[in-house]
Structure 1
Amino acid sequence: MQLNIYSDRNYLPEGMEPVIILYPFWKEFIPSEKYPWSRAYGKYIEISNSLFKMTSLEEADIVVMPTNWRLIRGDSWRSKVNKEAENLSIEFANKVANSGKEIVVFFAGDCCAEEIPVKNATVFRMAVYRSKKGQKDIIMPSFTEDFVEEYLGGEISLRQKSDKPVVGFCGLAVPDSWEKKLKTVLFHGAMLTKSLELGVSPYKGQILRSQALKILAESPSLVNTNFIIKGETVFLNTQDIEQRQKARAEYVKNMVESDYILCCRGSANYSIRLYEILSCGRIPIFIDTDCVLPEESIIDWKKYCVWIDEKEIPHIAEKVAEFHSNLSNQEFLNLQHECRNLWNNRLSAEGFYTNFHDHFSKK
């Protein structure tokens, strides 16, 4: 099904890029393939003309806000809202308010659970808190490059089932400390100053990961561990391309050499790692922190993940071992393929946009 979409470059704030859905129509904004995440959109761009047609406002099925709200709000609780860009975007929303068309706003990044000052918009967010989800909030995946194509020669690397599951993790995990408590106080102070909800500390994910990894490491009778724990996010914090590539290779190797990968929220209430795990054909151990995942009405997420409620972290090793023991050898192999297919068909950029019309045809 092809959707008619409308947007207007006159309302794209100067110096900002448009949302991904518009890349094929404003081609000068297509990002370089210099970094891995920029390669996540290539297949979508190739098939985009069969999915969307840029039309006039009168002919459009939906209207797309040209700017990702992340660029307006900023990507950190420390960020200040770009008021000029916000005012321009609200002006665009007001322009189409009386058209009777559905206006769509994309909001990625670490502040994406916050409210936006655009009335009656359908907001595609990376994350919300389930307990606070609005009726017009739709959760979308975080797009990642195709791990199988980029790193594994185009062929999924299957693991054979062993007696004990191998749990992997490569990344940032920092235990709770007085420093983290002080930073959390500063965070709450900043939220109050901006008249925003206090929210959940952006350091919660680091602490929960550390707790879960410690429990798993102390459970050798139940699981084998394959952990590379870092005190900082090397991949994102360095401008050294060679160092980025080395860090990425280490990350992928850890994933490929594990059966299950621990997956927990970061600064926001979602995990990019979840989609990377599925892309690689591995099974996530997903820690639920009042999360909403994409396509929940269609996807039985507990089929694809070892599902751990935040309160169940003390029992994480037992739950992983139980999940693993309940799979036959063939079921374990099949699940790796199913995780990969789920990402490919629904959670990759091309999969997500191929099914984008579902969110509107049902209304």
Structure 2
Amino acid sequence: MIKVFTDTSFITPEYRSIIFPLLFDLCYIPNLGLLEKYILVDSIEASDIVIVPVDIGFFLKNNKTHWLKEFITNGNQANKKVWIYTAGDFGITLNEDVFTFRFGGFGSKVDGKTFILPCFISNPYAQLDIEFKPITKIKLPKIGFVGHASGSFIKWGKEYLAYLKQNLKRIIKFIYTDYQAFYPSSYKRYQFLSALEKSELIETNFIFRDKYRAGVKSELEKKQTSAVFFENIATNPYVFCLRGVGNFSVRFYETLAMGRIPLVIDTDFKLPLDSLINWKNHCVMANKDNFMETLIDFHTTISDADFEQMQYNNRKLWSTYLNRDTYFSIIHDHFKKTE
């Protein structure tokens, strides 16, 4: 069992949305499995791990940097491992002796003390009220996509203006995030998807949206568009997955959760638990120059039986590694081994 110290004054409804993800399962909706692996203690001295209780962006945005630095320093001086959580599309890198948990980042830049969080999602099949079944292999690779993708130059311009605005806010310290180069994700998606549609060796099933989540506002509309989104994944063995504003894809995890096969464009991303998971066994990884050839070659060479087994494996991977409780169980075992 790992003994955890944190500042419990942050364990309130006010901070629920920005709490360190593990603390959600220990304090808000107690998870019995994780409570067998982690226990909260009352002092740094009694702990194994010291956790900054909420997203570190909160401290930077609210002139509480001194509190954050002091909390980390106290953990370091007591020779404890300090965990921090940085939320959002970009995340924040601290030049401190800490273990960082974040959703995205660049594989060539993050260090060995950075842990990539999966995007924690609920079982999509529960929303469709159907059960998982693998799709039988057919002659051509069939790939699906529903989402924000536009080839309009006006859209590209809007994304560039949003990028400039983001950087200006970062420069004047209105927000605190790591810098990322301009990447017009919806425009890039459109280019990749359009190329796939033109191939006679690939069957496509795409629905293009001009806005994120089709711009819907009401709960009923959100439910309807979500159903279309998940039905598309359910009916296509391959799903196109490209990073969004941040260098990660929520769709990637939704595809795995539904037991389908992501076609992933490598943007120097880093995936969770990559020392334990051979990700090449669970998705088709390609670069921007050979993504069509890679998909066609993969589909041509995989056997009918392995094609279906890969779908079973992906569904199992999500349930055994990529839920919040299973993920932090694995993190527990990793840190116990390093004691």
TM-score in terms of structure 2 length:
0.89
Which AA in structure 1 matches 2:49? I
Which AA in structure 2 matches 1:47? G
Pick from 234, 244, 256 the counterpart of residue 234 of structure 2.
Answer: 256
What's the offset of the Cα at 1:15?
3.1
- The aligned residue for residue 22 of structure 1 is 23
- The aligned residue for residue 55 of structure 2 is 68
Which AA in structure 2 matches 1:157? K
What's the offset of the Cα at 1:110?
1.0
Q: Are 1:91 and 2:91 an aligned pair?
A: no
- The aligned residue for residue 324 of structure 1 is 299
What's the offset of the Cα at 1:189?
4.1
Pick from 225, 247, 254 the counterpart of residue 269 of structure 1.
Answer: 247
Which deviations, in whole Å up to 9, do the C-alpha atoms of 1:137-186 show, x marking residues without a partner? 11121101112344344x31221101011110011112353443444444
- The aligned residue for residue 267 of structure 2 is 289
Q: What is the aligned residue count?
A: 330
Q: Are 1:148 and 2:133 an aligned pair?
A: no
TM-score in terms of structure 1 length:
0.83
Paired residues of 2:265 and 2:291 also in contact (CA < 8 A): no
Which deviations, in whole Å up to 9, do the C-alpha atoms of 1:104-129 show, x marking residues without a partner? 011221121x3236x20100111111
Which AA in structure 1 matches 2:39? K
Pick from 73, 88, 96 the counterpart of residue 109 of structure 1.
Answer: 88
Cα gap change, 1:49 to 1:190, in 2 (>3 Å)? closer
- The aligned residue for residue 38 of structure 2 is 52
Cα gap change, 1:70 to 1:321, in 2 (>3 Å)? farther
Which AA in structure 2 matches 1:9? T
Cα gap change, 1:292 to 1:186, in 2 (>3 Å)? same
- Percent identity between matched residues is 26
Cα gap change, 1:52 to 1:322, in 2 (>3 Å)? same
Paired residues of 2:128 and 2:231 also in contact (CA < 8 A): no
Local SS of the residue matching 2:14: coil
Pick from 326, 329, 334 the counterpart of residue 354 of structure 1.
Answer: 329
What's the offset of the Cα at 1:299?
1.2
What's the offset of the Cα at 1:192?
3.9
Cα gap change, 1:72 to 1:321, in 2 (>3 Å)? farther
What's the offset of the Cα at 1:347?
1.0
- The aligned residue for residue 2 of structure 2 is 3
Local SS of the residue matching 1:15: helix
- The aligned residue for residue 276 of structure 2 is 298
Pick from 138, 152, 156 the counterpart of residue 162 of structure 1.
Answer: 138
Question: Alpha carbon RMSD of aligned pairs, Å?
Answer: 2.4
Local SS of the residue matching 2:240: strand
Which AA in structure 2 matches 1:95? N
> Higher mean Cα deviation, 188-197 or 97-106?
188-197
Paired residues of 2:266 and 2:285 also in contact (CA < 8 A): yes
Unaligned ranges ≥5, structure 2: none
Cα gap change, 1:88 to 1:10, in 2 (>3 Å)? farther
Local SS of the residue matching 1:335: helix
Unaligned ranges ≥5, structure 1: 31-43, 74-80
Provide the C-alpha distance between the structure 2 equivalents of 1:14 and 1:343, rounded to a whole number of angstroms: 29
Provide the C-alpha distance between the structure 2 equivalents of 1:192 and 1:174, rounded to a whole number of angstroms: 29
Provide the C-alpha distance between the structure 2 equivalents of 1:14 and 1:278, rounded to a whole number of angstroms: 31
